[in-house]
Amino acid sequence: MTAITRAEVEHLARLARLQLSADELDHYAGQLDVILQSVARVAEVTADDIPPTSHPIPVENVYREDVARPGLDRAEIAAGAPAWQDDRFRVPRILDEE
């Protein structure tokens, strides 16, 4: 049984402002038909006694303790930088200011 017709695909294409050739309409009608049949098969096996879930097993966030650690030494960073000015990396300008 066909779930979607070529005319319906043409209507959907017009709504989406897509210009499709006759071959493309036939091609997409076949593909959409397969998709709709697959969705219908999934709907057949759903059971009312199974609650909807986003994950098959319970998910719990695990947080680590937030501990402050010493950062990098500014002098070492400045020593390794090709250009350094006012405690910042100096880079070539890429945009003109107006």
pLDDT digits (tens, 9 = 90+) for 53-85: 788 888 889 899 999 999 988 888 888 888 988
Q: What is the pLDDT of residue 46?
A: 67
Average pLDDT over residues 23-50: 86
Q: Is residue 64 part of a domain?
A: no
* Banded pLDDT at 2 (limits 50, 70, 90): low
Residue 9 one-letter amino acid:
V
**How many structural domains does the chain have?**
1
Q: 33 is in which domain, residue-wise?
A: 6-45
Residues whose CB falls within 8 Å of the CB of residue 89, separated by 6 or more in sequence, listed in order:
81, 83
Residue 49: is its pLDDT beyond 90? Answer: no
What predicted TM-score, i.e. pTM, was given to this entire model?
0.45
Task: Supply the CATH number for residue 23's domain.
Answer: 1.10.20.60
Q: Is residue 37 part of a domain?
A: yes
Query: Both tokens of residue 6?
Result: 């070529």
Does some domain include residue 19? yes
Q: Pick from 1, 70, 73: which is nearest to 41 by CA? A: 1
